[in-house]
Amino acid sequence: MAFSNKSDDSAMSEINVTPLVDVMLVLLIIFIVTAPLITQSITVNLPETQKDLTIVDTPENHIVNIELTLGGQLTIAKKEEKQIFKATEKDKITQTFKTLLEKDKDVILVFSADDKAPHGDVMKIMQQAENVGILKISFLTMEEHP
């Protein structure tokens, strides 16, 4: 027989992990049972369609690049066409936006501005595009290198 020579007054230095494991197993079972009940799904029968390969309409055909420099020079370019304005020439810019929208209802403006360009100029140009009816505007940024 093996008896301990320790006195009964000393503190127990072992941790009993059995109750902890029991509680964790009970929680695991509860989560396994309730997880399927929490997720809700709706069965939807979607209509079937066929893609018409004869129509080639890519987003690249609708893109118009807009660049604003630090000096306030605004360049509006679509493929080979390029127009240069000053950011203060609101009437000419608005008319150009109207012309672009008349030619292409799905026009997408890709805006890039110098990081030191006045924020107000950028916002005014965006507002002019929105007032005309151009609602698709994206921003071109460059990844910052540390």
The residue assigned the tokens 């902890």 is: 20
pLDDT for 93-126, tens place per residue?
899 989 988 988 888 888 888 888 888 888 888 8
Where do the H-state alpha helices sit in 39-118? 90-103
Mean pLDDT of the chain: 81
Percentage of the chain modeled with pLDDT above 70: 78
Domains of the chain: which residue ranges? 59-139
Is 70 exceeded by the pLDDT of residue 135?
yes
Nearest in space to 66 (alpha carbons), one of 57, 58, 74: 74
Bridge-partner residues for 78, per DSSP? 81
Whether residue 72 contacts residue 122, with contact meaning beta carbons closer than 8 Å, is answered with: no
Write down the pLDDT at residue 73: 87
- Helix, strand, coil percentages (3-state) for the chain, rounded to 5, are 35, 20, 45
Determine whether domain 59-139 maps to CATH 3.30.420.270: yes
The mean pLDDT value for 44-56 works out to 61
> Which tokens sit at 49?
């369609």
Write down the pLDDT at residue 34: 87
| 63-68 vs 73-78, strand pairing mode | antiparallel
The mean pLDDT value for 20-26 works out to 95
Taking each continuous run of H as one helix and of E as one strand, the counts in the chain are 3, 5
Is 90 exceeded by the pLDDT of residue 22?
yes
* pTM of the shown model: 0.56
